[in-house]
Amino acid sequence: MSLHVQVALSLPEWVHAQVDTGHAYPGDESKVALAIELSRLNIEAGSGGPFGAVVFDAANDRIVSVGVNRVLPQHCSVAHAETMACMLAQQRLQRARMNRDLDDNIVGRYVLATSSQPCCQCYGATVWAGIDRLLIGARSEDVEALTEFDEGPLPADWVGELERRGIEVVRDLHRDAAREVLRRYGQSDARRY
Ligand SMILES: [Zn+2]
């Protein structure tokens, strides 16, 4: 068996038709609404689990990148919606921390909107990704009640830990709509994604 030295991750083809990078999404609610719409489209297309995320440029409310869960199609446990969106934004911006350059100068402000509260992996990823705001739809308890996913352990004061690192957290945006996608997924036999 040959040694693998590269990982290639990609979003499903349908995102090209569904995502308009020229459109502005003012306000917190419209940003999370798009993340939830991506989560819904992902399960309808059978292209991954019921999670969507979007990175926005806070200067103009436009999309920098999007992500959907790609774990099972791409055999990759880290390919969650939030990590996909952050990795793709960092590649587009050519910065490991979106909001800072190599000299630690602030070069922009970025918002990560996600259909559900980040799991323990994505929580850790958001600490280093260089985002300024985190907007969340469903809560982790919704994910665990409506699906079989384990969200993993988080610090008891996970919101405070982010805010102490300069990341503002806004929760419960379109929570019911996000829960509806999770419920639909949990009730389907589509849990192979
Ligand atoms: Zn995650």
pTM: 0.96
Give per-residue pLDDT as tens, 7-60. 999 999 999 999 999 999 999 999 999 999 999 999 999 999 999 999 999 999
Query: How far apart (Å, rounded) are the C-alpha atoms in residues 7 and 18?
Result: 25
| CA 121 to ligand 1 centroid distance, Å | 5
Alpha carbon 36 to chain centroid distance?
10
Q: How far apart are CA 89 and CA 97, in angstroms?
A: 10
Compute, in angstroms, the gap from residue 83 CA to the centroid of ligand 1: 7
CA of 75 to the centre of ligand 1 (A): 15
Beta bridge pairs of residue 112? 55, 134
Q: How far is the CA of 46 from the centre of ligand 1 (A)?
A: 18
* 79 alpha-carbon distance from chain centroid: 10
Question: What's the chain's average pLDDT?
Answer: 96
Q: Which CATH number fits domain 24-186: 1.10.569.10, 3.10.290.20, 3.30.1490.20, 3.40.140.10?
A: 3.40.140.10
pLDDT above 70 as % of the chain: 98
d(CA 1, ligand 1 centre) in Å: 30
pLDDT score for 38: 98
Q: How far is the CA of 31 from the centre of ligand 1 (A)?
A: 18
Residue 184 confidence (pLDDT):
95
- Assign 110 to helix, strand or coil: strand
Q: What percent of the chain has pLDDT over 90?
A: 96
Q: Is the pLDDT confidence value at 193 over 60?
A: no
Q: Span 146-157, mean pLDDT? A: 94
Domain boundaries, the chain: 24-186
pLDDT at position 17 is 95
SS3 136: strand
Residue 150 reports pLDDT greater than 80: yes
Give the number of other CB atoms < 10 A from CB of residue 34: 23
pLDDT band (50, 70, 90) for residue 190: low
Residue 170: phi and psi, rounded to 5, are: -125, 125
Q: What's the CA-to-centroid distance between 5 and ligand 1, angstroms?
A: 24
Distance 69 CA to ligand 1 centre (A): 8
CA of 20 from ligand 1 middle (Å) equals 24
